[in-house]
Amino acid sequence: MTDFFFNVITLIRKEMLMILKDKRGRLILVMPILIQTMLFGYVATYDLNKIEYAALDEDRSFASRELIRRFEASPVFQRAVTLNNSAEIADILDNKKALMALHIGPQFERRLNAGQTVPVQILVDGRNCNVAGTAAGYANTVVENFNNARLRQKGMAGAAITISSRAWFNPNLETRWNIISGLLAVLGVVQVMILAGQSVAREKEQGTFDQLLVTPCEPMAIMLGKALPPVLVGLAQSSIVLIIALKWFAIPFSGSLPLLYLALIIFNFAIVGIGLCVSALTSTMQQAMLYSFTLLMPMILLSGFTTPITSMPEMFQHITLINPVRYGVELTQRIYLEGAGISEIKHLLWPLAAMAIVTLGIASRLFRSKLG
């Protein structure tokens, strides 16, 4: 019995040494846990702590200013724009200059003093229905507090102000619209990253990497040969999601198909570039898989697909600027739900294209150094 336990302990010691002696293996054991714990703690939250809104006060009375002052005093609202007329609301919400617009109509104070029910319009960006619903709920709380304070002061009974809500790009605030349109980018990320990440690592593990040395192909040609298949797979998966969204869920498509596929092609090349860099830096398919999954979780969490970017700490908001999944999600949602044209999304396309060029260039350089 003693020999048995001694053998077990010896085997355990040997396996632990095998696991821990590899520097990369030690990093894989520790770093994903630290990164994902921090991300879930700070980023994965549905709470809104800064709702940027636009204010349109057509009454310009003491009562209307008092209502706006209550929004200003709220810790979750921050005025981004002061509007002069209702025609400006469309541009503010279309270009995400504000998440919400507060519209106070004329004769607001006169009707309140007359004891009449007065509507206040709240317009929210419905592209992310969870965020829109939460913002509208916070706005309702502010208006309700204003009502209660005024009724106590005036000694009146009954409601004085009612909220008339309208959600742009998603009138019924259906969660499915937001999720499915974002899945056009997100769903293919895992498969594309893993396929690209294992591409070169597979050659090394199977012993065929050296055969590439004697081929007449240039390193760039070999890299394109490695990059295009995952891109095609990603486009095929996005096409399946698009067909399901249109035919099964009947989510109306407002944009341009050629523009959508242009955005998806650039997005997939950016993801493939990251995957090929991982593949060039790893020696086995297992290492490539582990490193790919280590990158995938932060990229998806920091994309704004599940939680609003504006609710993240400022440091993480800056980090999202180098995350291609963020741009992919916003592009697909804006083209699909909003019908955005090239002029509205060019500020999203060029950073994504730059990421694709940089990552593919780095992967090509790494690959060339291996061949050399």
Which domains does the chain show, CATH number per domain? Answer: 51-168 (3.40.1710.10), 175-371 (no CATH)
pLDDT at 78 over 70: yes
Q: Scanning the structure block, which residue is given the tokens 């979750």?
A: 76
| DSSP-derived secondary structure letter, 152 | H
Please report the pLDDT score of residue 267 as a whole number: 95
Rounded-to-integer distance, Cα 178 and Cα 359, Å? 29
If phi > 0 it is left, if psi is from -120 to 50 it is alpha, else beta; for residue 143 that is alpha
**Please, which residues bridge with residue 283 across strands?**
none
Question: Among 131-135, 220-224, 241-245, 297-301, which is the least confidently predicted range?
Answer: 220-224
CA distances from 135 to 46, 101, 205 (A): 11, 11, 52
The mean per-residue pLDDT over the stretch 76-96 comes to: 83
pLDDT digits (tens, 9 = 90+) for 191-236: 788 888 777 777 677 666 666 555 566 666 666 777 788 888 888 8
CA gyration radius for the chain? 27
pLDDT at 338 over 60: yes
One-character DSSP codes across 71-98:
HHHSTTEEEEEE-SSGGGHHHHHHTTS-
C-alpha angle 35-318-47 in degrees, rounded to nearest 5: 70
